[in-house]
Amino acid sequence: MERTLERIPPKSADLSEWYQAACYQAELVSQAPVRGCLVLRPYGYGLWERLQAELDRRFKETGHENAYFPLLIPESLLTREAEHVEGFAPEVAWVTEGGSEKLTERLAIRPTSEVIIGVMYAEWIQSYRDLPVLINQWANVMRWEKRTRPFLRTAEFLWQEGHTAHATEQEAAEEVARMLEVYREVAEDVCAVPVYKGEKSSSERFAGANHTYSIEALMPDGRALQSATSHELGQNFARAYDITFAAEDQTQQHAWTTSWGMSWRMLGALIMTHGDDRGLRIPPRMAPVEVVIVPIPRGDTTALDAAAKSLHEQCKAAGLRVRLDDRPGQSPGYKFNEWDMRGVPIRLELGNRDLEAGVVTLVRRDKAVKEDGQKQQVPLNEIVAFIPTMLEQIQHNLFAQAKTFLQDHTIATLDRDEFIRLLKERAGMIDVPWCGDPACEVAVKDATGATTRNLRQPARAERCVPCGEPARYQAYFAQSY
Ligand SMILES: [Zn+2]
């Protein structure tokens, strides 16, 4: 018997309900029998693998290598950098027993790996000749969370963390800027999610860092989503973990370290940004399946089956990520809706009449039903060569739509009342001159629930819009995830 597709609530009605339903029904994730954790199903893992591949290639192009460090961190090591441990303490999960034995020292399940990696760098780095050290780790981390929201808030999550050590502050600063640009490129050019780059305010800074930089995306409900961060750690960790080296002039110096990370949160940004009432819309460069072929059988299907298989083989040979949906028990209409819901960028429909005419019907997921150009017939002998062009168009169209949304919802103002009203209404990224004072930020947060997302210089006016003191930055304020 044919399954029926569960309906997803409309995205425009309630983003949060739509998001949860889309993640589960598109089979990205399942709830796990353990609190705060989710199962990443094959289609969801396929998305993660695409993100991983795009990031990993860029990390290697910029001179980094992958390595792997232990999951557990002895408590005595974790507590050495005071600000760092204070920042993470509320979310750390601990191992207190092994087998039947109570441990003499608790072991933290890594919330991040600066500590364990810092200890190893102290051992590996002796001389300026050992620098820079440029390492990335692909790993899971754990931060104790009570609420669960797919990709955005889970106790255990997947990410990458880069950790580097340099001989000078200048080199470390360049590294941090370089990796922030890698993140911007992956967010915008691969995930088609436009972002703002900038520095975090002191209250939003990573625990133990001198400077934290981020990329921030804007979700359809007007809330910002921090999508990656890059930190200048100065010599703070080098002092706490004795990462010293003999400089060219023979003096002993502390190294300058950095760390930077992007997690599967980026997938949450992608899903919310592009999805519509019919489900996900995945930008082609991120799509685990770029093209799905759905035959429409009627009467004798011998010729149709052979043509569909041949088309599938040709697409594979051309390097496309393609799926042939020839499941016998489901109607074509059901399959159309299901693949639409799962966000596959291109659907190829092939029926007997198409076959006789030597054409295939191509349907674009980035366009609305019956929108101009949503469907077109393409000669069968041209389709394989045509698909890459169409995928590029879809990629660019999705980015253009998201970019328009971000621009339309970025509002500059110099009026304090309007600033407060816009933040309360969750109107988007509110762009104002700002003083940089943490007390000023707290006052805005108390009044509106919003905080600075990131900052840049110089300020575009003399006075801070929230408080009237001299402005030092231009800041995006928004409510956030
Ligand atoms: Zn102020």
> Would you list the DSSP string of 153-208?
B-SEEEEEEEEEEESSHHHHHHHHHHHHHHHHHIIIIIS----EEEEPPGGGS-TT
DSSP symbols for 5-67: PPPPPPTTT-HHHHHHHHHHHTTSEEE-SSTT-EEE-HHHHHHHHHHHHHHHHHHHHTT-EE-
DSSP symbols for 388-455: HHHHHHHHHHHHHHHHHHHHHTEEE---HHHHHHHHHTT-SEEEEEE---HHHHHHHHHHHS-EEEEE
Predicted pLDDT at 2: 56
Q: What angle do CA 69, 72, 76 make, to 5 degrees?
A: 110
Look at residue 271 and give its three-state secondary structure: helix
CATH 3.40.50.800 holds for 284-391:
yes
Ligand 1 mean position, distance from CA 212 (Å): 20
Give long-range contacts, CB 8 A cutoff, 24+ apart: 26-31.
26/279, 26/280, 26/341, 26/342, 26/343, 27/342, 28/150, 28/267, 28/271, 29/150, 29/151, 31/148
Ligand 1 mean position, distance from CA 474 (Å): 11
Ligand 1 mean position, distance from CA 180 (Å): 27
* pLDDT, tens digit only, all 481 positions of the chain: 456 677 889 998 899 999 999 999 999 999 999 988 999 999 999 999 999 999 999 999 999 999 999 999 999 998 887 777 788 888 999 999 999 999 999 999 999 999 999 999 999 999 999 999 999 999 999 999 878 899 999 999 999 999 999 999 999 999 999 999 999 999 999 999 999 999 999 998 988 899 999 999 999 999 999 999 999 999 999 999 999 999 999 999 999 999 999 999 999 999 999 999 999 999 999 999 999 999 999 988 999 999 999 999 999 999 999 999 999 989 999 999 999 999 999 999 999 999 999 999 999 999 999 999 999 999 999 999 999 999 999 999 999 999 999 999 999 999 999 999 999 999 999 999 999 999 999 999 999 999 999 999 999 999 999 999 999 999 999 999 9
Ligand 1 mean position, distance from CA 364 (Å): 48
Ligand 1 mean position, distance from CA 363 (Å): 51
> Distance (Å, rounded) from C-alpha 53 to C-alpha 178?
18
Task: Specify which residues 142 forms β-bridges with.
Answer: 156
Tokens linked to 102 = 């109570």
Ligand 1 mean position, distance from CA 196 (Å): 21
Ligand 1 mean position, distance from CA 352 (Å): 68
Ligand 1 mean position, distance from CA 90 (Å): 29
Give long-range contacts, CB 8 A cutoff, 24+ apart: 443-450.
443/467, 444/420, 444/477, 447/420, 447/423, 448/420, 448/423, 448/424, 448/479, 449/423, 449/424, 449/479, 450/423, 450/477, 450/478, 450/479, 450/480
> Distance (Å, rounded) from C-alpha 377 to C-alpha 361?
5
> Distance (Å, rounded) from C-alpha 41 to C-alpha 444?
40
Ligand 1 mean position, distance from CA 420 (Å): 13
Ligand 1 mean position, distance from CA 453 (Å): 15
Q: What residues pack around ion ligand 1 (CB closer than 5 A)?
A: 435, 440, 464, 466-467
Ligand 1 mean position, distance from CA 441 (Å): 7
The sign of the CA dihedral 84, 86, 92, 97 is positive
Ligand 1 mean position, distance from CA 463 (Å): 8
> Distance (Å, rounded) from C-alpha 206 to C-alpha 86?
11
Ligand 1 mean position, distance from CA 447 (Å): 14
Q: How far is CA 347 from the centre of its chain?
A: 26
Do strands 72-74 and 101-109 pair parallel, antiparallel, or not at all (unpaired)?
A: antiparallel
Ligand 1 mean position, distance from CA 194 (Å): 27
CATH 3.30.110.30 holds for 410-478:
yes
Ligand 1 mean position, distance from CA 15 (Å): 32
**Every domain of the chain and the residues it spans:** 15-274, 284-391, 410-478
Number of H helices, E strands in the chain: 14, 23
Ligand 1 mean position, distance from CA 413 (Å): 14
CATH of domain 15-274: 3.30.930.10
DSSP symbols for 323-345: EE---TTS-HHHHHHHHHHTT-S
> Distance (Å, rounded) from C-alpha 194 to C-alpha 169?
30
Predicted pLDDT at 406: 98
Tokens linked to 209 = 């860092």
Ligand 1 mean position, distance from CA 467 (Å): 4
Polymer length of the chain: 481
Ligand 1 mean position, distance from CA 425 (Å): 21
Ligand 1 mean position, distance from CA 446 (Å): 14
* Phi, psi torsion values for 8, nearest 5 degrees: -90, 135
Instruction: Note the pTM of the prediction, 2 decimals.
Output: 0.95
Ligand 1 mean position, distance from CA 478 (Å): 15
Q: What angle do CA 247, 250, 256 make, to 5 degrees?
A: 25
Ligand 1 mean position, distance from CA 412 (Å): 16
Ligand 1 mean position, distance from CA 430 (Å): 14
Ligand 1 mean position, distance from CA 480 (Å): 20
Ligand 1 mean position, distance from CA 355 (Å): 67
Ligand 1 mean position, distance from CA 246 (Å): 44
Ligand 1 mean position, distance from CA 177 (Å): 27
Q: Which residue is associated with the tokens 């819009």? A: 465
> Distance (Å, rounded) from C-alpha 426 to C-alpha 16?
15
Ligand 1 mean position, distance from CA 399 (Å): 34
Ligand 1 mean position, distance from CA 464 (Å): 5
Ligand 1 mean position, distance from CA 421 (Å): 17
> Distance (Å, rounded) from C-alpha 466 to C-alpha 433?
9
Residue 237: closest CA among 388, 149, 344, 118: 118
Ligand 1 mean position, distance from CA 437 (Å): 6
Predicted pLDDT at 21: 95
Ligand 1 mean position, distance from CA 84 (Å): 27
Ligand 1 mean position, distance from CA 479 (Å): 17
Q: How far is CA 443 from CA 291, 420, 437, 463, in A?
A: 50, 11, 10, 16
Ligand 1 mean position, distance from CA 203 (Å): 14
Ligand 1 mean position, distance from CA 438 (Å): 8
